[in-house]
Amino acid sequence: MAELYIMPDSDALDQAMQMDREYFEQHPDKSDYYRLAVPGEDFGYFPPKTLVHVVNFREGTRQRSFYLPPQEIWADLEHESNKNEKTS
């Protein structure tokens, strides 16, 4: 049986790792955070609007988990964002 492994986009992965590194350098009291996935860092498997939960175990050792939240969440967030833009 042959195994297929798809490599992530190296530029996207480098960008994501840099973002995570900077976040934890700026927030040393935090051990985890959520962000939007950088297109390509997820091996091209997940659609847009994928969330990434990044856990910092120690300097240079992190785990990234990908989540695709329900569409309703995005509709609510976009509605709130549009409402805030109109009042700004």
Tally Cβ neighbours within 10 Å of residue 30: 11
Quick check: is 1 in a domain?
no
Q: What is the pLDDT of residues 9-61, one digit of tens each?
A: 788 889 999 999 999 999 999 999 999 888 888 766 666 778 899 999 998 89
Predicted pLDDT at 39: 84
Total number of domains constituting the chain:
1
DSSP label of 14: H
**In terms of residue numbers, what domain contains 47?**
10-87
44 vs 70: which has the higher pLDDT:
70
Quick check: is 44 in a domain?
yes
pTM for the complete prediction? 0.70
Residue at token pair 């009291």 = 29
Quick check: is 3 in a domain?
no
The H or E element containing residue 10 is helix 10-26
Quick check: is 45 in a domain?
yes
Tally Cβ neighbours within 10 Å of residue 4: 4
